[in-house]
Structure 1
């Protein structure tokens, strides 16, 4: 008989880790640990969580991601219902900006420092670390044009990976200047590349007409060689933009954050300005990016706002973080096990155990019991499997005496404990 299976490019998160091909899928308690660390880092950096719907208007995403990008033209999960066009969000920056504008979060006062964790969707060819449903976390600092906002965004990103002991990552930075600088640079880049158009890949030829800055992202060797003599953005930005860039670099140096300047690092959309950055790690192989971001003061006007809105942020993939953690053999905490396992002999004992287990849970004790009516031997095997430090066996004698024999599994020692004192006894971990 055939059964349903997960959709290509997606995966299940199970209580135990498992592999798909050569990729390890982390266990649910490992995901929970990583998410907890992320929350702790974000809280220390004075960020507040925001959660937006996975379903957004198609036009919002087209404007926020860029109509000429592969994401919008090829990779969106989009559909129409009763004349309205929807999309499963492929990223979260545009939805956060939409929520900021819709709910007038500027009225809360001060700079809004927000973070998010959640699933995204792209209909791309699945490969290691890249899925059709993937999970993204990130930061958006909205309302500050000061270079300190750029540096703090980068510092928060670095702090996430340091919290996991992940060293050896490389931070690349560049300045994009203002939109008019980018326009001048785009024209110069097109003029430079046009004579070589026939030598470019089909993708780069298309980008030369629609989004030429994306050609700078090429991984094709002969195209990268061509770009060695291409004009750079730094040749086109003005003194004010350079001053902003210099301030960001000095702030990073003051925090002992090492970086490499990369004049080829850009963002392909017009609403990005000033600082752009990416974090890479060799543990990820050819697709080495862990996270990336930049300043995007022009996004709000692209979404219909009546003027620029200072904003800076980064986004990162959870799956790529797990790949990097696997590469360093990260030591995840063990999953929590029950404090006590109850084994019952007979129907009366099963009834008493069922109620007692639920009473103990209400008192904050992690308790487990058998739900299959198995033999005592089978129940004891289950107690060992669940690795509970205490096991309690309840039968007719224990019910008559009002006292339980509590076995400390590590030592085999048994202690008689009255039913009235059982919760207090089990609340204390066994002596080492």
Structure 2
């Protein structure tokens, strides 16, 4: 039987993982500057957590979750997104009692959704996300958005568009929901079965329907912006002001609707405007979720966050022609001739690595010429050659691969000799 990688997943091979590591390093550095600390949550949670937070009318809960029953007859789900797990941990570990609020957290790891695979979208994908929980200040909204923009800019992207909108508070959403129900009810039979289900529970989801996106009733639906109260308008104006003060360009899109039920007030997306990026331009999305902590049993603790796909970030970098740093070369390759030399070479190899030098040797008993070819392919800076004669004299032959000069060095001194040469060169 020929085994293959499961549909919707991928193997990330060493030539590509180096790129991932560079992006992950950028993320860590930006989060450190903004004083966001890493949190690591389980890959699976109780199914009800996602049903209550993400929303049982969303495509994620209805169609895309990987849910299973464990040996204790408990329903568990591989996490489809990160916010629910972070909020659950915030409550369970009583982070609301920390003296410094808001609590600023970030995460990075695999998520799972049963989606149709396409460029930059997989059934197992990696998300980086940020959550700031415990403040209702519009300034923190701008900070979170700024952090996301900084990650992209540090990664070398310049063709970006930030789109923002206000979803209003609970009162605004309720009035808008009533208007949407009245708008769609007379013609709901024209819509798909999912939209019919969403009509009473969450008609806002109809506006985000992929099946009926061209239905004229969606274009003519009541706009949420017409139902914003004074408090919501003032909050949104403050967010825009802080963004302007930070020099962050944005566009207001009254039709922007986030795909998860827990969002209110600020919602935003960051898109790639690069011509070679593809039809799906969204790189990152997020927003404010006041009330989510209370929804799953916690105290009043407003929050805001975002999630971005690492796969799509890498695609955007490729589309803009961003170059990555070259992977570190090998410091030393040890060539050995014979069993005695191999034992001596292994000892030298251990000493090299102990001193922080990237070193390797042959493990297939190839001839010297083949081993030297490996050293060239691996772009080794130095080669150490050991044969029976070198073993008897307790020396090694050290070759500088750039100058092709070589000299005999005592085994005890070779490590310091290489360290000194690298320091000078």
| TM beyond 0.5 | yes
* 2: CA distance, partners of 1:375 / 1:315: 52
2:350 to 349, 355, 358: 358
Aligned residue number for residue 12 of structure 2: 13
More displaced stretch, 365-374 vs 400-409: 400-409
For the 8 Å contact 1:179–1:271, the answer to whether it is kept is no
Q: Alignment length, in residue pairs?
A: 420
Q: Can you list the C-alpha shifts for 1:160-185, whole angstroms capped at 9, x where unaligned?
A: 10001111211111111111210110
* 1: CA distance, partners of 2:177 / 2:332: 67
Instruction: Give the 3 Å change call, closer, same or farther, for CA 298–231 of structure 1 in structure 2.
Output: same
How far off is 1:204 after superposition? 3.8
| Equivalent residue runs for 1:311-322 within 5 Å | 311-322=303-314
Aligned residue number for residue 72 of structure 1: 61
How far off is 1:190 after superposition? 2.2
How far off is 1:254 after superposition? 0.7
Aligned residue number for residue 58 of structure 1: 47
Aligned residue number for residue 258 of structure 1: 249
1:407 to 2:396 alignment = no
2:282 to 277, 289, 305: 289
Aligned residue number for residue 37 of structure 2: 48
1:369 to 2:369 alignment = no
For the 8 Å contact 2:58–2:261, the answer to whether it is kept is no
For the 8 Å contact 2:125–2:309, the answer to whether it is kept is yes
| Runs of 5+ unmatched residues, structure 2 | none
1:298 to 291, 296, 314: 291
For the 8 Å contact 1:272–1:298, the answer to whether it is kept is no
* 1: CA distance, partners of 2:129 / 2:50: 17
* 2: CA distance, partners of 1:258 / 1:225: 31
How far off is 1:210 after superposition? 3.8
| Equivalent residue runs for 1:123-272 within 5 Å | 123-218=114-209, 223=214, 225-267=216-258, 271-272=262-263
Root-mean-square deviation over aligned CA pairs: 1.8
How far off is 1:236 after superposition? 1.1
Aligned residue number for residue 104 of structure 1: 94
Structure 2 residue matching 1:398: 3-state secondary structure: helix
How far off is 1:205 after superposition? 4.1
Q: Can you list the C-alpha shifts for 1:104-161, whole angstroms capped at 9, x where unaligned?
A: 1123321210000000111122121111111000100011110011110100011010
Aligned residue number for residue 19 of structure 1: none
TM-score by length of 2: 0.94
Q: Can you list the C-alpha shifts for 1:47-93, whole angstroms capped at 9, x where unaligned?
A: 10000000111111111211111111111111112221111100110
| Runs of 5+ unmatched residues, structure 1 | 17-26
1:323 to 2:322 alignment = no
Aligned residue number for residue 92 of structure 1: 82
* 1: CA distance, partners of 2:261 / 2:44: 25
* 1: CA distance, partners of 2:240 / 2:387: 71
For the 8 Å contact 1:177–1:273, the answer to whether it is kept is yes
* 2: CA distance, partners of 1:413 / 1:174: 65
Structure 2 residue matching 1:420: 3-state secondary structure: coil
